[in-house]
């Protein structure tokens, strides 16, 4: 024999009693509503973007902004550091046919760059002589 869940039985009984009371929408209320409805202009639907399009636009905008920043960064960077930080490259130097080390001495005047050239084994030979 099938047993009825007591909660379901109570629920059914409550539903039966609650649904016993029901009334139609009064005609005058309905007429008033229809009259108002005719005066209302529904709001135009706003174009709803698909999430994919929405995020796509966001990502594109972010990328464009990033690229612009990357282009602008070196300009700002140079302006901040000024001419003093301009790099000087000395590829190679030779003294008396021998390779020499180069050292760039910092100068505040941007028009002058002093490069110190030193024979590689210069100090070592001098030391050797002293030792002998």
| Binding interface with another protein (CB under 8 A) | 7, 10-11, 13-26, 29, 32-33, 36-38, 40-46
Q: Say how far residue 61 (Cα) sits from the centre of its chain.
A: 10
Look at the block and give the residue holding tokens 């009371």. Answer: 21
Q: Could you give phi then psi for residue 112, rounded to 5 degrees?
A: -115, 130
CB of 34 to another protein, least distance (A): 9
Q: Which is nearer to another protein, 11 or 118 (CB)?
A: 11
Which residue lies nearer to another protein by CB, 44 or 130?
Answer: 44
Neighbouring C-beta atoms of residue 100, cutoff 10 Å: 17
Distance from C-alpha of 109 to C-alpha of 111, rounded to nearest angstrom: 6
β-sheet with 93-95: strand ranges across = 93-95, 98-105, 114-119
Question: What is the SS3 assignment for 121?
Answer: coil
CB of 62 to another protein, least distance (A): 29
Question: Of 24 and 111, which has the nearer Cβ to another protein?
Answer: 24
> Is the CB of 20 or the CB of 92 nearer to another protein?
20
């Amino acid at each position: 024999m099938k047993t009825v869940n007591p909660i379901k039985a109570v629920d059914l009984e409550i539903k039966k009693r609650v649904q016993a009371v029901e009334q139609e929408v009064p005609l005058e209320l309905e007429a008033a509503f229809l009259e108002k409805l005719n005066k209302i202009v529904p709001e135009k639907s706003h174009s709803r973007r698909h999430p994919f399009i929405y995020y796509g636009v966001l990502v594109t905008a972010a990328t464009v902004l990033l690229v612009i920043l990357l282009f602008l960064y070196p300009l700002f960077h140079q302006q901040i550091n000024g001419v003093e930080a301009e790099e000087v490259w000395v590829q190679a130097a030779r003294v008396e046919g021998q390779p020499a080390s180069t050292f760039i001495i910092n100068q505040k005047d941007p028009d002058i760059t002093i490069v110190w050239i030193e024979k590689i084994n210069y100090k070592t030979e001098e030391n050797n002589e002293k030792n002998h």
